């Protein structure tokens, strides 16, 4: 069983790596797309502030992932370990595939769907009300971010042009984009580290603090090694971003995710930033938004929890045929 526990921890860290690879773009992809930061500069800042968010406020959502969907703490040690292992595997496999396709999917959707699929496989009670509440928040996340992005851009393009002297405008906007992007990275780390370590905490494998630190480090490695893939999609393929648009989108996304994080709700930072970018793009007219890319992203969003749930269900059922789990 020790080997299974070690494998489960490594799989959870692989989820963290895949989160960093797929979701790094949510923080400063807009800054790269608007030419404020280079890719290397953006990755360094995301690593720093994403890790800080994970360590300082990552515990809120970790409790929901670990015990809010199925009561992993009430399962036997062996069963909880296998659930954590297979759920992490299902989530990680799908996120890596989507990252290869440069699609900004939801790692929150991935792990929630995977945990629910595991619960169905072992016939343990699933907290459907919690899942329903999470699902409603998933719908509200991009809509709320789009609304905030739309309103912020309308306000800031009037206010900032009038109060910032022309000779200081570019440097001021660059600073605002960087600061708001770092805020996005912080809220992302706080909300998404649970997707990596929540099941390990729920299975009582590691203490919450240890898990969060390890998950945060895994995310940082994912950012540094493969974070550039999805950043290209976020930064320039949805719509071409002016500096004020980038600032408005990042601030809208960060506020949106931070509110959910404080309530312990695992939402998608991908949904939030894409919704915010869509919202600011609409101010200039729907013709500037790449509808084809948006359709592809939405299809991946809808498919994510079902795909990871099915993967987890099938894999866990196969394991239970060959391994007697008590």
* Residue 101, number of CB atoms within 10 A of its CB: 12
Tell me, yes or no, whether 272 lies in a domain. yes
* Distance separating the N- and C-terminal Cα atoms of the chain: 12
Tell me, yes or no, whether 130 lies in a domain. yes
Q: How far apart are CA 142 and CA 275, in angstroms?
A: 4
Residue 315: the pLDDT is: 95
Tell me, yes or no, whether 166 lies in a domain. yes
Question: For the chain, what is the domain count?
Answer: 1
The list of the chain residues with pLDDT below 50 reads none
Residue 107: the pLDDT is: 78
Residue 242: the pLDDT is: 78
Tell me, yes or no, whether 133 lies in a domain. yes
Cα torsion 231, 104, 89, 67: sign: positive
Tell me, yes or no, whether 96 lies in a domain. yes
| pLDDT tens per residue across span 98-111 | 778 777 677 788 88
pTM confidence score: 0.81
Tell me, yes or no, whether 320 lies in a domain. no
Residue 245: the pLDDT is: 86
| pLDDT tens per residue across span 300-318 | 778 889 999 999 999 999 9
Residue 268: the pLDDT is: 82
* Residue 233, number of CB atoms within 10 A of its CB: 21
Distance of CA 194 to the CA centre of its chain: 10
Residue 35: the pLDDT is: 76
Give the domain range for residue 284. 2-313
- CB burial class (10 A; 0-12, 13-18, 19+) of residue 221? middle
Tell me, yes or no, whether 323 lies in a domain. no
Residue 257: the pLDDT is: 94
Tell me, yes or no, whether 250 lies in a domain. yes
């Amino acid at each position: 069983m020790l080997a299974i526990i070690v494998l489960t921890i490594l799989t959870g860290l692989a989820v963290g790596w895949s989160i960093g690879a797929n979701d790094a773009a949510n923080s400063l992809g807009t800054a790269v797309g608007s030419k404020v930061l280079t890719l290397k500069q953006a990755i360094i800042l995301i690593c720093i502030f994403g890790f800080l968010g994970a360590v300082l406020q990552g515990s809120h959502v970790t409790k929901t992932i670990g015990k809010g969907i199925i009561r992993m703490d009430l399962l036997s040690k062996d069963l909880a370990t296998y659930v954590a292992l297979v759920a992490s595997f299902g989530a990680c496999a799908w996120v890596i595939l989507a990252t290869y396709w440069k699609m900004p999917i939801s790692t929150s959707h991935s792990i929630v769907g995977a945990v629910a699929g595991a619960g169905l496989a072992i016939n343990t009670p699933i907290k459907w009300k919690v899942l329903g509440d999470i699902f409603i928040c998933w719908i509200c996340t991009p809509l709320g971010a789009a609304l905030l992005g739309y309103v912020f851009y309308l306000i800031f393009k009037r206010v900032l042009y009038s109060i910032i002297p022309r000779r200081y405008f570019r440097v001021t906007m660059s600073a605002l984009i960087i600061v708001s992007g770092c805020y996005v990275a912080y809220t992302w780390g706080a909300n998404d580290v649970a997707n990596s370590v929540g099941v390990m905490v729920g299975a009582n494998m590691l203490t919450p603090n240890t898990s969060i630190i390890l998950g945060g480090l895994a995310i940082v490695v994912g950012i540094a090694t493969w974070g550039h893939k999805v950043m290209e999609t976020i930064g320039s393929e949805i719509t071409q971003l002016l500096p004020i648009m980038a600032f408005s989108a990042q601030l809208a996304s960060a506020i949106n995710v931070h509110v959910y994080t404080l309530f312990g709700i695992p939402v998608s930072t991908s949904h939030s930033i894409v919704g915010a970018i869509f919202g600011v793009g609409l101010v200039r007219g729907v013709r500037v938004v790449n509808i084809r890319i948006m359709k592809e992203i939405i299809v991946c969003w809808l498919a994510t929890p079902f795909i990871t749930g099915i993967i987890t269900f099938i894999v866990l059922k196969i394991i239970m045929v060959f391994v007697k789990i008590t």
